[in-house]
A and B are shown apart, each in its own frame.
Chain A
């Protein structure tokens, strides 16, 4: 046991992993800062790796113009930063009126695709797929868990013949328990 310096465990820094404004509390402990930096980068990569257009759109190389205010907003709103992470980004972009007719199509497509992909690799229920309303009427993003062990997950965009948009028009989803969408069970809100 090392008794000669301040003893610090993961559990001591865990409250601050999504709070870079608080990192300076640990300025006397190099390893704690590296630990927090790694946690923080985890969110950055989760956000931008599947969404190069969002990184372009942020207007700076580090993507901080979107990343920092979004993370602060998400922490204050106590979002879980789970699979719907990118759907929350859509809500944040909408609230900040940052989407317009020239940029929204590709960004919404990427964000909803990223959410569907993360759901497909992280969900542990018996559901086989997910349908996501991303704010485009009559066009849904659909994600499928791998259909065989040697295949990868699939992400599609499908045209819907009717307007089944959620009432409040915000990103929503439903789970699919079959190999195809055969029923529309109604939309669920993201948590």
Chain B
């Protein structure tokens, strides 16, 4: 892997043949597996189907809420997978999946103002995985966005985990609330792993953006990537393009090509200077 490797997310069988084509045609360097969708499968069998570098993303560990025994089982399976694959990174969501016993179908943002109460659970989960944990920032709709950058910087110091910085989530949060997107600069410079995707206006208000993974990367996100290109495309960084809806192969290739061009331009710039 080199500077600014480009990957794509893989969540299940429906996109397998397209992902294989993206690999064969050289559009992507690695695949980010939504690993907890496949915990019941044999790691060796999965590895045969992905003859390329992989990263792990976890969706439903629910490590803030789930009991010890269940987390032990999930982490033991992820550890076995990790031994088979040596993933580029292991990332997870820090979010609320339920409240007072009621499940959400849209994750809710944690309360950063009481952030320290999460530290022990983050440490415990990271210890169970036996691997540095990269936690993803949330596409805020409400004012948690103002506190998020400081919280993510803080947990890195307190728990030795790192941040999977989702570029378009930060763009959504900033657009939705007015929070300064440049507050993320320290986080961006301290991690090596990034996500990017398209977003969609909320059904009841076009001015509010939802992280939908079903559109092209927005021009605003492109501008933000260009502004911090020296950080996003430095040595050993990865950018995973997330696409879950409107899975149009040609449009995906367009976005991947655009990311690749940015990566190459930055390499050329680095060589010249």
Q: Which residues of A contact B (CB under 8 A)?
A: 1-2, 7-15, 17-18, 30-35, 37-39, 41-43, 45-46, 75, 78, 80-82, 121-122, 124-128, 145-146, 148-152
Whether A146 pairs with B12 at a CB distance below 8 angstroms is yes
Confirm or deny: B37 has a beta carbon within 8 angstroms of a beta carbon on chain A.
yes
The CA of A38 and the CA of B109, in the complex, are separated in Å by: 13
Shortest C-beta distance, B47 to chain A (Å), equals 9
Residues of B within 8 Å of A, CB-based: how many? 54
Write 22 A-B pairs (CB below 8 A) sorted by A numbering. A1-B146, A2-B177, A2-B179, A9-B109, A10-B111, A10-B142, A11-B110, A13-B142, A30-B205, A34-B141, A34-B202, A38-B202, A42-B106, A81-B105, A124-B60, A124-B73, A125-B70, A128-B40, A146-B41, A149-B13, A149-B33, A149-B50
Contact B210 A38 (CB under 8 A): yes
Which of A30, A35, A80 lies at the interface centre, i.e. has the most chain B CB atoms within 10 A of its CB? Answer: A35
A31 touches B176 (CB 8 A): yes
CA distance A75 to B102 in the complex (A): 8
Chain B residues closer than 8 Å to A125, beta-carbon distance: 70, 73
Q: For chain B residues 108-162, which have a beta carbon within 8 Å of chain A?
A: 108-113, 140-144, 146-147
Q: Are A7 and B12 in contact (CB under 8 A)?
A: no
Beta-carbon nearest neighbor of A121 in chain B: B37
Cα distance, A146 to B15, chains bound together (Å)? 13
- Whether A42 contacts B142 in the complex (CB less than 8 A), given A15-B99, A34-B202, A128-B40, comes out as no
Give B47's nearest chain A residue, CB to CB.
A149
Which of these, B61, B102, B208, contacts A18 with CB under 8 Å?
B102
Is the CB–CB distance between B108 and A78 below 8 Å? Answer: no
For the complex with contacts A38-B202, A38-B210, A146-B38, 18 further pairs of A-B residues with Cβ separation under 8 Å are A9-B113, A10-B141, A13-B142, A17-B102, A31-B141, A31-B208, A34-B141, A34-B204, A35-B142, A41-B203, A42-B105, A124-B60, A126-B40, A146-B37, A148-B41, A149-B38, A149-B41, A149-B50
Q: How far is the CA of A15 from the CA of B104 in the complex (A)?
A: 11
Complex contact B70–A124 (CB within 8 A): yes
CB pair B49 A150 closer than 8 Å: yes
Tell whether A46 pairs with B105 under 8 Å between CB atoms, given A1-B146, A151-B13: yes
Asked if residues B105 and A14 are in contact (CB atoms below 8 Å), the reply is no
Complex-state Cα separation, A17 to B205, whole angstroms = 17
- Which residues in A have their C-beta under 8 angstroms from that of B23? none
Q: Which residues of A contact B61 (CB under 8 A)?
A: 124
Beta-carbon contact of A82 and B103 below 8 Å: yes
Interface-central residue, B45, B104, B111, B177, by most chain A CB under 10 Å: B104
Of the candidates B14, B111, B178, B203, the one whose C-beta lies within 8 Å of that of A37 is B203
A17 to B179, CA, bound (A): 24
Bound state CA distance, A43 and B50, in angstroms? 34
Task: Give bound CA distance, A2 to B16, whole Å.
Answer: 45
Tell me the bound Cα distance from A93 to B197 in angstroms.
40
Residue of B37, B49, B74, B102 contacting most chain A CB atoms (<10 Å)? B102
Interface centre among A9, A18, A82, A125 (most CB of B within 10 A): A9
Nearest-CB residue, chain A, relative to B41: A149
Q: Which of A33, A75, A124 contacts B39 (CB 8 A)?
A: A124
Q: Is the CB of B142 within 8 A of A31?
A: yes
Q: Does B84 contact A (CB under 8 A)?
A: no
Q: How far is the CB of B67 from chain A (nearest CB, A)?
A: 12
B-chain residues with CB within 8 Å of residue A45 when the two chains form the complex = 105
User: What is the CB-to-nearest-CB distance from A47 to chain B, in angstroms, rounded to a whole number?
Assistant: 9
Chain B 166-205 interface mask (CB, 8 Å, partner A; 1/0): 0000000000111100000000000000000000001111
